[in-house]
DNA sequence: ATCTTGACTTCGG
DNA sequence: TCCGAAGCCAAGA
């Protein structure tokens, strides 16, 4: 599959902000939801300036396993994102695509 | 074609 | 807060 749309959006995430896999999946309309977003990011090519470290799990949890885990944490902290107990404060760093249709976390899916 | 593995999320207990 | 279960789906074996 082509993950290009995913990477293109990730490239737009500004320094100091993060997005969740679920949010990313919805924004790009991935059929498999967050899981698929995760697959895409796992296959993320390096050396192309894609800020992969700015993609986190629901609730701001850092889900990446150890080889890259420490790198992600380091990169995030290097841009001012505080990481506590393997998680970042979404209330402060969640990226809300300005002007876009992504709203901040809707708690109840309509009715 | 079947089965396993994930950089997932949500819900209920 | 911490599981377990269920829904999801692509890739690799």
pLDDT digits (tens, 9 = 90+) for A91-105: 999 998 776 555 544
pLDDT the model gives residue A107: 38
Query: Is A106 a residue whose pLDDT tops 60?
Result: no
Using the structure, give the distance in angstroms from the CA atom of A33 to the C1' atom of B3, rounded to a whole number: 22
A84 DSSP β-pair partners: A87
Task: Give the other-Cβ count within 10 Å of A46's Cβ.
Answer: 7
Residue A69 approaches strand B within 7 Å at CB: no
pLDDT 10s digits, A75-95: 999 999 999 999 999 999 999
Per-residue pLDDT, A96: 85
In 10 A of CB A19, how many CB atoms? 24
Show which residues sit with Cβ under 7 A of nucleic chain C.
Answer: A 1, 31-36, 39, 43
Strand C bases near protein CB (under 7 Å) are 7-11
In the numeric block, which tokens belong to residue A3? 């993950």
């Amino acid at each position: 599959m082509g993950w290009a749309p995913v990477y293109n959006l990730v490239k737009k995430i500004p320094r100091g902000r993060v997005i969740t896999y679920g949010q990313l999946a919805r924004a790009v309309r991935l059929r498999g939801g967050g899981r698929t977003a995760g697959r895409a990011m796992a296959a993320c090519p390096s050396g192309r300036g894609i800020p992969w470290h700015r993609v986190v799990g629901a609730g701001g949890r850092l889900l990446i396993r150890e080889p890259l885990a420490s790198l992600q944490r380091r990169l995030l902290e290097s841009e001012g994102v505080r990481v506590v107990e393997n998680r970042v404060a979404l209330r402060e760093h969640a990226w809300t695509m300005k002007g876009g249709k992504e709203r901040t976390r809707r708690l109840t899916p309509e009715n």
